[in-house]
Every structure is written in structure tokens, then in C-alpha cells.
Structure 1
Amino acid sequence: MGVRGLQGFVGSTCPHICTVVNFRELAEHHRSKYPGCTPTVVVDAMCCLRYWYTPESWVCGGQWREYFSALRDFVDSFASVGIKLVFFFDGMVEQGKRNEWVKRRLKNNREISRIFHYIRSHREQPGRNMFFIPSGLAIFTRFALKTLGQETLCSLKEADYEVASYGLQYNCLGILGEDTDYLIYDTCPYFSISELCLESLETIMLCREKLCESLGLCVADLPLLACLLGNDIIPEGMFESFRFKCLSSYTSVKENFDKKGNIILAVSDHISKVLHLHQGEKKLEEMLPLGPNRALFYKGVASYLLPGQSSPWFFQKPKGLIMLDKQVISMSSDPESKQGVPICTEPESKQEVPTCAHPEIKQQLPVETDSDFNLEVPMYAHPKIKEDKPMDMDSEIKQQVTLVSDPEILKVARMHHIQAESYLVYSIVSSGEIECSNTLEDELDQALPSQAFVYRPVRQRVYTLLLGSCRDDISASLAVKEWFVYPGNPLRHPDLVRPLPMIIPGGTPSLKSLWLNQEPAVQARRLDALLACFNLSSSRDELLAVESPLRALCCLLIYLFVQVDTLCLEDLHAFVAQALCLQGRSTAQLVDLQLEYISPRAVQLGSLLVRGLTTLALVNSACGFPWKTSEFMPWNVFDGKLFHLKYLQSEKGYSVEALLEQNRSWLTRFHNLKAVVCKACMKENRRIVGRGHWSSHHTGRWGRQGSSSHRTSSSCGHSGQGQPWRDQGPGSRTHEHDQWRRY
């Protein structure tokens, strides 16, 4: 994240730009300077997840009660000194940053492999040096913060631009995060989350003005420096030879500095002593070896310009302007090169429909895109701004190239997305492209499928629900691009996944009916749609009889046990027992739980269930929220360490009474829940048996042998041998059928 090498440089070479500050004192000073204005800290939540996750146990699927308690303590600490917090989460991966996203996911895969190797070798959780955040942490953190009454927003792009924009526009006390890009943006002060002491509310402030003094630059030069060094948009190797030339001619190389530190000093020296000489006289591309990377470079520099800001490094042409959201793009008059050069940002024109005035380019351009070099202009999506100009939002939505053409539906989906109330829905209806990061899955375990495949049929039915109103002429070839991480997927291309037919009693309702109709009878239709996404319509009455919050968990368990044949009766006992015992445990009691050893299979089962809960979040929001989000929040239905304990006990053959700690009231509920799950599975010809009753053909593979098991699909080129969910290939295949379902 951020600028290559800058974090280390600041710590080793320029420690004086780091100042210890106290939030209580900062808030008091802010109130005296701006009477009547609440001191506000805007939080880059994605940077804070590791800091927030303080529970000792992390490998078992997440200690969600402990985590929720830690979040509450964090919020309360700032509230106690009168500071308001505004949290931003990444909403989508920008296309220009997809390669960087893929690199990180593949790196994470290697880390996960090492984690499972350690577990198999030592039968214990690795140390914190191998810490990997539990699956679904970012998603459920959004809901947790909203439950705690916090303003929580989801960006339309990666969050750093919107965080910096919010901090500037609302005169915030500062930004709390861990990303050197916040040293580059010309915005409010930047504070380190990793250095925060919650008890004293002291942390480190990193001062961009002091950084500029050390480098001999001005703040307006920092975006240029960032791109020459390399960041999430500009690959590190793009200007490697240029940096080497700067280093070779730099006369103040100090032996006690590391190589990256010297490179930063050398590039800064070149900017201040060479490029400044011709600033305003020559185009930047004449002073730098941009070559074929010219467009990408300008895109990178422009990505740091916030609304109302301009860059002195862009040579302005008097004609050929394209208005793109908040940025003005100047088209070069060179007939051989039509790449746009970003000049400035203009807040008054941020909602204008983009048009091109260049005589050679007469077509209308879609919002956020320059057709010549795909300059994706960052958009500021704070709902307060959007609400001020509702007609402008409608106009903007109408200009987008989306899979769903109804502007009213897009507007609702966008609103829920920005307000962090939904999950993945807006990405599907707007771009037809979604992603899911790494999950703690053991690539050597041949008996359990990746969550990406287990829940794919559910997603396919959601696509039908969301995209069913698409034009007939494109629906036949419609496919959603899925960037899902699973073992063996090199992520060179997305998987192209087609919608799957779904059967809803009374027919498939429209999104307008599900999302906008407030009549009481529609709520039942919303629930019908949710159950149909899991193919559980036939178990509606039994599920409705289950009390909240176990109803959602019951729905998920039925789906899992129908879908995955290698789940056995002992697994069901462990899942149900932990859910019931959780109701009677305090947070302190969960903290004190001790495990005899760690089972890699139980680790993966815990992650599989939590990913199911995130899938429920997608389905629930797509269906118009038939269930309250509290019904499937993990702190209400799942604790990783408690599940692991029950799994180990069940595996050893503990009786149901022992699993339930001799609690008679839990015993009755246990048998009721188990009966609902088993009855629903029997309707699908799936009999759940104990591990000792498995027939000899169970060899640790997913899916039963026999005519009812559709384990492979010739349309996807599967071999039909060995590991049906591991051998999916490198992506880009079009998945049409519900081929991973067992029947």
C-alpha cells in the first residue's frame, strides 16, 4: 500500500517528521479554533483491521464477541474526549489496481500455505508473526461499527481518495490509517494507527510539510515523486532506469542510508534541481522519459488531486477539454497522441455529463473514463454531497454503462453500497464484476471444497435475481466476472459465471417490488426469494419455526450439508452445539477457553461457515433485507475457538449431553435444530451419517459416487477425476450450470 519505500525511509532517514501527539489535546485545540465544530477523525478502516483484531486466537475462524468488544472500546475511547469518528471501507477494486490486488492475493496464498503447514506440524496456532486476519473481517466490521452507531461508509473505488477528500472538505482533525499515500495527498494531518495507544490516545503524526523540507520539495511535488518511485498505479519497474540515473548523478549519497532511502533522496534532488528549472516552460513528458507509459503516469499523478486542487506539473492547453467528474482533462493537439493530461479538479462541475470538445473525438464519453487511455477519475461519494443534488446523481447513473439499466434501482443499490448496508450488490448491478479475498483454506485437504465453489450456486441465483431484468438480447450471453481466490487459481483472468435459474413460489419478483414496495405482504416475498437463492423453498415452514438468531445459521447448515457430502454427523453436532453454548457464554468466558490442539480441518470448516455468513449478507441485501442483519452476524451465532472445542469433543465421540455441558434446555433446542437440518437434507436425498458409518467409497473427496452426484461438467473442461473443486483451471472459463451441487 502506498509509495514504494517511503514508509521505511520515514522511519530510518527522516524520523523528525514523526511527532507524538495526543488526541485529547488535539480535540481541545480544534474546538477552541473552530467553535461549534465537532472534532472529527476520518478512519481508513481497511488499514486498521489488524490493529483492531486483538483476540489471541485468530486461526479458528474468528473470535467475534471479543472483536466486537474491542471495537466498542475503540469507539468509546474517542467518544470520551468528544471526537467523532467516520469510517471508510474499500468498496471496489479499481481496474488500474487489479494487478496489484492479484499480487497481494497470491502472496497471501503462500502465507496461508505456511500457516497450514505449521498447524499440521505443530498442532497449534502459529505465532502472531504469521497472523492472518479471519475471513470476512472487513465485511463484518462494517456491520459492527454501524451497530455501534458509527458513521460507516463504503467507497465507490479504493477508499484512500475518498478518505483524503472527506478529511479536506470537512476540515477534519486528521486521518487515521497506515498508508503512505496520506503523506502525498494535500489534505488534513495524517496519524498512524499502528502507533496508537488507546489508553492514552497518543499516536504519531506524520507531517508532509516536514517531509517536503527534508526533500527540498513543495507539497505539490509529492504526487510526482510518488509516481516516479512507484505506487499501486505505477509499477515499481516502470522508472527503474530513471531512478538509477538519478542515483548515479546524486552527489550526496550517504553510506548510512539504505538503498531505497538514497533513491528517494536522489529522485527528490532531481525534481528540485533539474525539473524545477523548466517547470511551466516544458511539458512534463519532455522532461521525463515517459514514453509509452505517458498516459498511465498522468493517471497516477492525477489520482492524488482532490476536488478543487491543481498540479503545477501539468502543461495546460487552451483547447480540447474533457470534463470528467471532478477532473479536467486536456487533450493534446498532437494528432499522433491523443492521451489526456489532467490539469485540475473542479468541485462545481463534479456532476457534469462528460463530453469531448476535441474536433477529432466527437463521441460522448462515459463517466469516469477517457476513451483514449482509460483514465479512471476518482469519485468522491460521500452521501451528504449526493443528497444535496439528487438530480445530479440520477444524471450520473444514467451515464454509466451498467448491467442494470433502471436508474431507480441503480440509485438504491448505490445508496446502500455507500452507506455500507449491502455487500457486493452494487458491484454486480453496476459493473458485473466482484471479488473475494483470501480464505484460510488448506490446499492439501482434498476432502473439503473451497468456499468459492461451495457458495457459487447461491451467487448464480443472486445474479438471476439482480440481472433478470436485463435486455433479452444480452441475457443469453450474460456472465458475471468473479475474482475469487481459491487454491490453484493464478488469477490471470476472472471466472465468467452465468446466472442460474431459480424457482420462487409465485414467480420471480422484480427488484422494484423487493426493494421499493413497502406493503406488508412483500416481506414474505423477500423471504421466499432468500430461501430460493439457497434452494430451500421446500423447508420454509420448518425454518420459520426456528427462533432468531439461529434461523439464519440453520439455513446455512442445511445448504452446506446438502452441498458438501464429506460433512458428517459429528460436524453437524459441533456446529449446532457451539451455536447453543455461545448463547450462554460471556465474552470473558470465551477468552478463557483453552484448546488441546488445533485441527487443520476444523480451521477450514470455521472459515467455510463464516464465508457462508458473508454470502447471507449478499443474499439478504439482494432480496431487500427480509432478515435483520443481527440474525447472521457472527458474534451472535459463531465463535471460532468455541467451535473448535466442540469439533474436537465431537471427533472424540463425546455424547450430545456432554457437548451441551449437561444443559437440559439446550438439549431440547439441539434436537429440534438437528431435526430441521436432517429433514431438509433428506428431501434432497442427503442422509447425514457419522464418520464411522461412511461407506468405503468415501475417500476424502467431495460429492458422493452415484447417479445423483453432478461432480463435474464437460462444459468447463473438468477431468472428472480426483479433485473436482481444485482442478478448475486458471479462470476465464464460463460457468453455466450448478455443477458443484451434489445432486
Structure 2
Amino acid sequence: MGVKGLQTFMDSCCPEACVTVHLREMAKQHAVSQEAPTLVVDGMACLRHWYSCKDWISGGQWKEYMDTLKSWVEVFNLAGIRLVFFFDGVVEELKRQSWLKRRRRVNGDVCKIFSHIKSCGEQPVGEMCVLPSGLATFTRFALKSLGQEVFCSVREADFEISSYAREHNCMGILGQDTDFIIFDSAPYLSSSKLRMDTLTTVLYDRQRLCQALGLALYQLPLLACILGNDVVSEEQMKHVRMDAMAIYRQSDSIPYHGAQHGQMIFAVSQFVRSWSESPKDVLPPTLKLSPSDKELLERGIQSYFLSDQRKHQSSEIIDHPAAAVYQKYVSSTILQACREKHAAAEGFMVYSVVSEGVVECSNSLEDEEDTELLPQALVFKPCRQRIYGLLLLHNGTDVNPPAIKEWFVYPDNPLKEPELVPPVPLNLHGNPPALDLLWFGKGPEVSSLQLSCFLAILDCPDLSDLYGTIEEPIFITTCLVTYIVIQVQTLSQEDVDAYLSQALCLAQKSSQELQEIKLPFLCSRVVQLGCLYVRGLSYLLGANCACGCPLTTDTLMPWNSFDGRLFHSKYLLAHSGVEDVMLLDNDVSSLTVLHHLRAKVKEVCLKKGRMLQSRPRRHTSQFSLKTREEPQHRGRHTGGWGWRYQFEPRGGHHNADGWRGKGEVRRGQHHYDDDRARYGRGNFPSTSQHLDSQQHHSRGAPSNRRGRFNHKGKYHLAPRWSQPYAP
């Protein structure tokens, strides 16, 4: 967030401090003193700049996004500029309230988005935009796959970015946070005003800002805290600003007659200038404040002192008070490995669990009016609990293990306090495996144990026989879809077919072909299902890390198994009653694979007491649709619509009670089955009540052949499956 209103002030009231710069020229000048000019990039601030894909609503256009990232990096590489990326890895407790405030604000945007989809059947335009779920997480891995140096912060990211830039004499910090003006570090360059065609942007000059305000550089942290930032809220220092404004208006000097906020910054600057006596003092002794206000300001000012500016600063991160509670459950070797993987952006979720026992998840595109679909926080809660169990219960020494504090955003969660979620042991034969063995052991037995743990986290051990017979991204899709179907009782066979068919077709499509897919309208239910899948991939990433990485990280990336626009088209096709071959873009060779995977999902679900049935959703839309004939590419169906069809954008079949029918979520639930009883099976009508009067559409006959995918995604014969699988 940065300093409240400071950037607007500089743009409008202090233009001399906003300097347009050419990054190529800066790099050449900087190269005189350093061999490789380095630009430190605040990854979180650049996400909106990077995600320039037209479609964001259905879970993300991940192949297109990867192309964009690759092109972006190449421009800087050709200019001779080395890039170092930083991403937020933690939410510090000092900034928790600011984080929660932003999450609540985004909740309002999400409600407006779903209202727009249901009334217009199209993606909102303009400012009403929420980036795809998990974008920050997956972008870290995307950049690493492009050979870039990426870090994930173990404390406040702004602090680590500024410390790195100062320590390594970097040419600048590319971001969008006015805290970078306050830190005594490298020049702050605007990511929002970056032009890639000319490699120009705006440099916000802290020296010129101080000259305009009559301040010394060391006074900037105090100015920032009184104006309001992530540590000291705007409300907490309101009385100080009011006093400053009153003195400013009574002074003999000519007041600034511009906008109200501009006057406020000049007034506070004058106030700070009159207080300060020495740069050695954190707070001026002449400043008259209550003890609590002084303590708050001191914390805020200290947050701007970088590592080499602090007295007696330890090289180690200062642990949160709760850290010792969780760290005793893992060995020092595991803890160190967790921290190293986290800092190198090679892990997900694991470090926050074993270090402080706190996990958070930002907003997802979830329709609060759709009571049929569980929020992703509840869908994947059992999975997370087993991850916690694997990490903290492997020694089997504690009867009452500590609960993990979860800050998860979902409908009806007031976010006033964290939910206390206890670890749950894996359902494995024998004693829980030691993390040291899973993480550092070698050999086929360890590999087999790692995969068993991964599937146990998903509660799908029966899918182990698929491993090695199909490409890993398809294996991952099958695992994730099976888990989702077991947890969400209202998913139908058509929903499963949409998930599986889009994964099978994705490998054969370029990002350009995916962009050319035409949709007659958007369905709000598909939007939530797409986001649910992508969120699931992030939890599978966490499960893989906890198990010692039995699967390659690249396997779990969404660009290998998911595209939002493709999924949306497959969903509409599946629910319209087309034959299976049309779901597969007329690729007959993939029919056997689809039938086998479908049968496997149904088989595993049946063992869990979950009967997966056909339930096509065919209802009259509140807005009219036109027939669309789209060109065929290479003889394949590309998502065009060659028939007239009406569809309810809402999703239809809403249960009056749904997952929230029995009241509000209780904090500190001690087993996920309680949640399932409150929000899941206990409140849904039986599957047969949802069946359409028309029988499920005909399926293509399975081929009596056996096979597997090759590296290009094609299906070839292999002596693996002994019997053909009927749908």
C-alpha cells in the first residue's frame, strides 16, 4: 500500500520529483560502476502489468500469460539489464489489519463481478477486475522456469527488496509502492508507468521531494507514519494531522492553496520539520504524544530502517512469539530446508506452517449467492489438514497437536479472527513417515512412499495405478478432479467431463488458438469451478512440497493442465449433450483415455460413497443468444457454436439452504467432517433429485485398445491396461 496519498501528491503537486527516465540509459550509466546493472522487481506490484490477457474471469489464460512473461523478460535481457524478482512470502502481524481491510474491499468487487455476469452474461470491463487465483504463487515458478532469479520474502517484502537493492548497489526498484520513497535504498521506478516499447518509466526522486517539503531525508519515515501506512493506520494518527493542519493555517507563511490532501502533506511536513532536532532520535523528544501513540510511531519508524541501519541487528529473522510452538515439531534440518526452499521460491505453504503455524489465502472468485458450491477454503480444508498432519505429526508424540491459524477469505467469513484448524494424520499403513526420510531419502522405496503420501493427502490412494501410464499433468488433473468431486456433492458427470476434456485438449493448442475460442456467454457457475480448480493446484503444490516432491514442480503448473476459456467452452459443450468426440475436438485417439479416466474417477468416488451421475443443466437464459459459426482449425472443433442453445448463466438448480443453510461457520472446528455435515452432504438433496428428465447424452464407444501418452501428449499403445473401460 505504501504511504497514504503520497504518490498522488507527487504526481499532482510535486512534478519536479517525478522524472521520466530511459532504463537503457540508466543501465549504461550504472554499468560504469557495476558489471551487470540490476533491477529489483516487486513482483506483487507488477502482476496487473504482466497479466494483460483479455480474459481473466474463468480461472486464467495461463499459456498466454506465460508468453507475456517470456516476452517481458526478453526485453530487459536484450537491454543488458539483470532482473531480480521478489514476492510476498508472509503477512506480518503488524500489517495484518491492512491485509484484512484490503481483502474485505475486494469482496465487494467480487459481488459486483458476479452480479454483472448473471445480468449480462459477459466479463466485466474497466476497473472491475480480479486477477486469477494463485497468480502470484504460480508467477514465481513461471519466472524461475524462464531462468530468472526469484526470491520469496521471509518477512515484509518491501523491506527485503529495499535491503537487497541497497546492499547490491542496484540501479533501481521497479514497483508501485511509495514505501520505496521512504526507504534509504535504490531509486524507485514506477511499474504502472513503464512503457515496454521504449523502456521508459517515471522515477520518483526522494531528494527532490524533500527539497519541495523542506525536510531532511531522515525525516521521511516520521512523515510516512503520520500520513498513514501499513503499520500506522491513517485513522490512528488523524488527531496529529488535525493539529498539524491547524498550526499550518495559523502560520505566517503562505499556505498551499491546492487540494485538501496536498495541504495536509505540506502541513504535516511543517509539523515534522519543527519537531526534529537530530537524525539520531527515532522520535523527537519535544513531540507531545500519549505513550501508546509514541510506541506505535516508534514501531512504524523502525520498520523503515534497513538491516545495515539497525543497531545490534541479528542476521537471523526475529521469530514470531508463536514460532517455538510449531518449530519443535520438526528437526532443525527440516526447518532450515523449509526456510531455504521458501526464500528461493521453490516451496509453497510449508514454511509458514512449520515456522509460525499461520496460513492465509486471499480472495477467490466465489459467488456468495450460489449456495450449491462450497467455497474453496472449505473444499480443500481436509487436504490442508493432512498436509499439516504430515508436517507436524510425523513423530507421533503429541496427543493434542497445535491447531494452525487460517486466515482464509470466503463468503460469510467476517475475518475477525483466524480459524483454528487442527492437523489430521495421513491414512497410511504403519507409522507416519519421518520428514527427514521423505525429504532427503533416496531410492525407489522412498519415491514410492512420497507418492503414497501425496495421494493420501488427497485421500485418493486408488489412483496410484494411473501414475506412469499417462502424462503427469493429466494424472494431476485426474487426482484433483476426483478430490473435488468427493468434496463437492453437487458436481455432475458433465462437470467432470469438462475438467478432463479440457486437460486432454490443452496440450494440442497454442496460446493463440486458445484466445480464438468463442463463447456465446459466460456462466457464473463455470467461473467459480475454474477458480476452484486453480486454487486446488496451489494446494497440490503444497502437498508435493510436504511429501518431498514426488512430482516435478512443472507438472503442477496451471499452463500445463488448465485454460479458463477452454474450460468454459468444454463445460457448455458437456452440458449441451454433445458426443464425447466433440469434447475432444474430434480427436478419436483420445476417446479411450477419456473413458478410462472417467471410469476411474467414478470408481474411486463410489468407494467413498459418492455416486457420480449425469445432471445436465439446461435452462432458459435471461438474455438471448445468437447462433455462431466459427472456423475450424486443422479439422478440429475450436469452441465455436454451430447450434442455437439457451443456457441459464446463473447455473441453475440452487438449493435453498446449501452449504450455509445451517448457520454460520464456527471458528476452531476440530475436524473437517463437522464442516461436511454442516455445509456438505447433510444439506444437499439426493443426486437423483437433480436428474434431468432427459437421459444423459450418448457417449462414444470406448476403443478396445490400451495405451499411454507420449511426450507430445498423443496416446499410444502400451501393455498397461488389461481391459477396455466403459463410460
Aligning the two structures, in what range does the TM-score lie when normalised by the shorter sequence? 0.7 to 0.9
Q: Deviations over 1:213-239 (max 9, x none)?
A: 111111111011101111000011122
> One-letter code of the match for 1:52?
W
Give CA-to-partner distance per residue, 1:438-467, whole Å, 9 cap, x none.
Answer: 000000001100000000001111111000
Contact between 1:174 and 1:190, CA under 8 Å: does it hold in 2? yes
Q: Does 1:260 align with 2:261?
A: yes
Secondary structure at the residue paired with 1:21?
A: strand
SS at the partner of 2:307?
coil
Pairwise CA distance, 1:248: 1.5
What is aligned with 1:122?
120
C-alpha spacing 1:96/1:636, structure 2 compared with 1 (3 Å): same
Aligned to 1:454: 379
Give the SS at the match of 1:413. helix
Q: For 2:477 and 2:299, how far apart are their aligned partners in 1?
A: 46
Q: Contact 2:352 / 2:358 at 8 angstroms: preserved in 1?
A: yes
Give the CA deviation at 1:308. Answer: 2.3
1:235 aligned residue (230, 233, 236): 233
- Match of 2:670? 735
Asked if 1 retains the 8 angstrom alpha-carbon contact of 2:426 and 2:453, the reply is no
Which secondary structure does the structure 2 equivalent of 1:549 belong to?
helix
Tell me how far apart the structure 1 counterparts of residues 236 and 149 of structure 2 sit (CA, whole Å). 39
Contact 1:190 1:207 survives alignment (8 Å): yes
CA contact (8 A) 1:546 1:673 kept: no
Instruction: Give the corresponding residue for 2:624.
Output: none
Which amino acid is 1:302 matched to? Q
RMSD: 2.4
Q: Among 170, 173, 176, which residue is 2:171 paired with?
A: 173
* C-alpha deviation, 1:736, in angstroms: 2.3
Q: 1:692 to 1:176 in 2, by over 3 A?
A: closer
Q: Which position in structure 2 is the counterpart of 1:723?
A: 658
| Displacement of 1:676 | 2.0
Query: In structure 2, what is the equivalent of residue 554 of structure 1?
Result: 478
Change (3 A) 1:550 1:278: closer
Distance 1:626 1:593 in 2: 35
Residue type of the alignment partner of 1:345: K
Q: How far, CA to CA, are the matches of 2:11 and 2:454 in structure 1?
A: 51
Amino acid at match of 1:153: F
Instruction: Please give the per-residue CA displacement for 1:187-206, whole angstroms capped at 9, x wherever unaligned.
Output: 01110000111121111111
Match for residue 291 of structure 2?
A: 291
2:194–2:202 contact (8 Å) kept in structure 1: yes
Counterparts in 2 of 1:230 and 1:547: CA distance versus 1, 3 Å: same
Report the 3-state secondary structure (helix = DSSP H, G, I; strand = E; otherwise coil) of the residue aligned with 1:478: coil
Aligned-partner SS, 2:276: helix
CA drift of 1:280 comes to 6.7
SS at match of 1:85: strand
User: For residue 428 of structure 1, what is the aligned residue in structure 2?
Assistant: 353
For 1:576-602, what per-residue CA distance to the aligned partner results, in whole angstroms no more than 9, with x for missing partners? 111122111111111222211010000
Question: Shift in Å at residue 539 of structure 1?
Answer: 2.7
Q: Establish whether residue 489 from structure 1 lines up as the match of residue 444 from structure 2.
A: no
Give the letter for the 1:550 counterpart.
Answer: I
Normalization by structure 2: what TM-score? 0.84
1:136 corresponds to 2:134: yes
Q: Please identify, of 180-189 and 679-688, the stretch whose mean Cα deviation from structure 2 is larger.
A: 679-688
* Corresponding residue for residue 181 of structure 2: 183
Shift of 1:346: 4.8
1:312-339 deviation per Cα after TM superposition (whole angstroms, max 9, x unaligned): xxxxxxxxxxxxxxxxxxxxxxxxxxxx
| SS of 2:432 mapped into structure 1 | coil
Distance 1:606 1:184, change over 3 A: same
- The one-character-per-residue Cα deviations of 1:609-665 (angstroms, maximum 9, x if unpaired) are 001101101100010100001112110100001101111122222221222221112
Q: Quote the Cα distance in structure 1 between the aligned partners of 2:380 and 2:424.
A: 12
Q: Closer, same or farther in 2 for the Cα pair 1:680/1:43, shift >3 Å?
A: same
Question: Match of 1:360?
Answer: none
Secondary structure in structure 1 of the residue aligned to 2:64: helix
Are the equivalent residues in 2 in contact too, given 1:42–1:85 (CA < 8 A)? yes
Q: Is the 8 A contact 1:448 1:566 kept in 2?
A: yes
TM-score, normalising length: structure 1:
0.83
CA deviation profile, 1:75-116 (whole Å, cap 9, x unmatched)? 111101111111111111101111111111111111100100
Checking the alignment, whether the CA contact within 8 Å between 2:371 and 2:659 is kept in structure 1 is: no
C-alpha spacing 1:108/1:403, structure 2 compared with 1 (3 Å): farther
Query: SS at the partner of 2:2?
Result: coil
- Residue aligning to 1:714: none
CA contact (8 A) 2:173 2:186 kept: yes
**Structure 1 pair 283–58 and aligned structure 2 pair: CA distance change class (3 A):** closer
How far does residue 726 in structure 1 lie from its aligned partner after superposition? 7.0
Residues 365 and 531 of structure 2 are in contact (CA less than 8 Å); yes or no, is this contact kept in structure 1? Answer: yes
Q: How far off is 1:574 after superposition?
A: 1.0
Q: Per the alignment, do residues 659 and 281 of structure 1 end up closer, same or farther by CA in structure 2, a change over 3 Å counting?
A: closer
The 2-side partners of 1:653 and 1:465 are apart by 43
For 2:491 and 2:652, the matched residues in 1 are separated by: 13
> How many positions carry a matched residue from both structures?
643
1:209 is paired with a residue of what secondary structure?
Answer: helix
Identity %: 41
Q: Is the 8 A contact 2:122 2:522 kept in 1?
A: yes
The residue identity in structure 2 corresponding to 1:441 is E
Please state if 1:275 is matched with 2:275: yes
**Counterpart Cα distance in 1 of 2:325 and 2:421:** 22
Give the distance between the partners of 1:416 and 1:407, measured in 2 at CA. 14
Counterpart residue number, 1:388: none
CA change 1:458–1:569 in 2 (3 A) is same
Query: Which residue pairs with 2:703 in the alignment?
Result: none
Contact 2:372 2:659 (8 Å CA) reproduced: no
Shift of 1:284: 2.6
